[in-house]
Chains A and B, each alone.
Chain A
Amino acid sequence: MQDVNWIALSIFVLLFGFITWLGFAAARWRKGDLDLLHEWGLGGRRFGTVVTWFLVGGDLYTAYTFIAVPALAFGAGAVAFFAVPYTIVIYPFLFVVFPRLWHVCHKKGYITAGDFVRGRFGNRWLALAITITGIVATMPYIALQLVGIQVVVGALGISGSGWAADLPLIIAFMVLAAFTYSSGLRAPASIAIVKDILIYITAFAAIIYIPIQLGGFGKIFAAVPAKKILLAMPGPHTTGAYGAYATLALGSALALFLYPHSMTGILSASSGKAIRRNAAMLPLYSFMLGLLALFGFFAIAAGVDKLPEFAGGFKQFGNNFAVPALLLHSFPAWFVGIAFAAIGIGALVPAAIMSIAAANLYTRNIHREFINKNPSDKQEAQMAKWVSLLVKLGALVFILFVPTKYAIQLQLLGGIWIIQTLPAVMFGVFTRWFNSWALLIGWAVGTVAGTSMAVAANLAPAYPLAVGGYSFPGYTAFYTLVLNLVIAIVLTPVFNIMSARRTPLDETVAADYLA
């Protein structure tokens, strides 16, 4: 490993200290009674268009994304760019579906997707399925954020043996846990503003400066092996890389807003209007993510993996070291400090929101539904605070004791699992036509089929679906969502005939979904 980079480390620590203070100070921002769950866990639904932009941007475009997408471009090439169509097609869903969900949640006091499904379909078991899926899919996602911190800490030259090696990560997480506990969603919202400004500075400086250093895009792409620049042309009788690319983008987009942390970010907005405006403004982050993906090619052109000073980093972190190495190679130490702080802080924002979202889910849809049916407001908020600590501790233990590749594989499975909640949540926003038991069976079949297909494909995202001599490699989550939907549609009339009660148990009315 290279020596400790003192200048970069000092700036990194300074910025970390600043956001720690900010996280605690945030408790007093747009002050509310933090003994109420919607104040602690949704920031009192008081965030306007601009704060929502920073919060949701910091929430969805995570530090891990900023490390992993360029790493994929570095290793595998063009396929990494699926992140761009993915983050283009998410916004129509945000625009059309989520203002309606926001309105009904606001009117009925719902805080989670589980709350909504419980109210809409009157089926606590369906709500439980949605809740458990949300929590299970979130855990490895939090763990992956820690990988982001590990990589930049390693790149700063900090290394140790045994317990000491993990000390920076443990400190970062204690800080995170403490300010999330005391300030709730206000902490990541305020920190997101600082983090996003740092990320934008880094991204735009690098996208201008590094290509100049390397002699322009023409030279950079000339250095990239030709087969990495474009998707492989599909052979006969298969949709090949094209189908995989498109279904990965679409499936990931459908899954994204079903994650509890996305839901929490969106529901904390102050109005449906703020959400719609953000559907037009958030693509700036997608643009930046596209630029960052190109960093993978810059790293190839700069040949950072062949430089002896980075050999240790690549050995330890694999391709995830490509971006940190590129930044170290191209920029003076003080700027590296800013860039690494952006990535490190960028991990804390989503990790905080994810732990809050998981805590909201447990508190509302498991504890209140099945254990203590009439908690006081204060008890409810207190429970959520403790659970948020527990969730983070779980993620920390996971990342310290389990190899990173399992977190990555679990996160991949998490995408397959979370997408199975789409029929109940997204279609539920528009219609109560579905029978809740049909939805539950669709969810179960989708989850089991998705998991087995992923295992059969050796935990690669694309499954080679074969139909009559043709092969359609595509994103497992997408295929199993179709299966789930077909089952829910076919079984709905069946269950309706079997059931004595024809009127659905819907506590919402059409007007609840409108402004």
Chain B
Amino acid sequence: MEVLADVLPPGVVNVVTGPGAEIGKALAASPRIAKVAFTGETVTGRLIMQYAAQNIIPVTLELGGKSPNIFFGDVLAERDDLVDKAVEGLVLYAFNKGEVCTCPSRALIQQGIYDEFMALCLDRIGQIKQGNPLDTETMIGPQVSAQQLAKIASYVEIGRGEGAEVLIGGRRADVGGEFAGGYFFEPTVLKGHNKMRVFQEEIFGPVLAVTTFTGEADALAIANDTLYGLGAGVWTRDGSRAYRMGRAIKAGRVWTNCYHQYPAGAAFGGYKISGVGRETHKMMLEHYSQTKNLLVSYSTKPLGLF
């Protein structure tokens, strides 16, 4: 707010804090509000649409995802920087401890390279440094709350119960020292199949669900077999395939040979229950604007119809 103070006129940005049950509805249902944007979970998104309907105002929603990160076999066709980048691309599920709506939380790896590629990834995951979030050497800090930590742990249990194999992590992490008892969770990888609940629900933690695919059609079917459609990653050396996949994946943002890039001006938002509307692009301003047509006659003559 201090940074914004000299940029925006007084009163433009207001931060209202308090229990959602009291202030959330009051804000969302207020007839003084002309447009609502919400980022959060699906049921609150539905409620906000309901309140917006009562006031006939537009609403945009960003409700999360279960984004697939797809690695085709040709990634390992050369031994170059792209291999290194793709390994990092998979490990980006742990970025911001997985507490990102677009977290690439499902990795789909082509069968032929699974063993070799996963070994490289697990080695990289094993090198993640957890600890003081203000230390620039730290790669991931603690989860945002005790509730979140408990939820992540419960999902790993659900995964185990469904028969998923824990390839790495799977437990609360104790980083010791002054951060002992902090809400740290080990970067975790669960191997299973896409019908498992850990492949279908957003965990919002450093937990990756990994599975394999046979070919492009199989990869696409798995990628789109989800209630969500926010982000996706495609890793391949074949430009035509990258284009076909990008077109066919039902997600608002498909990264090709990269992930978690958010340049200003690139439309961001979801298909399916991931939400409604687009942010960051000029389209976002249009959500907050009206289109007006001024239709002016230069002629003083009547139409002549009546």
- Are A and B co-members of a single complex? no
**What is A's interface to B at a CB cutoff of 8 Å?**
none
**What is B's interface to A at a CB cutoff of 8 Å?**
none
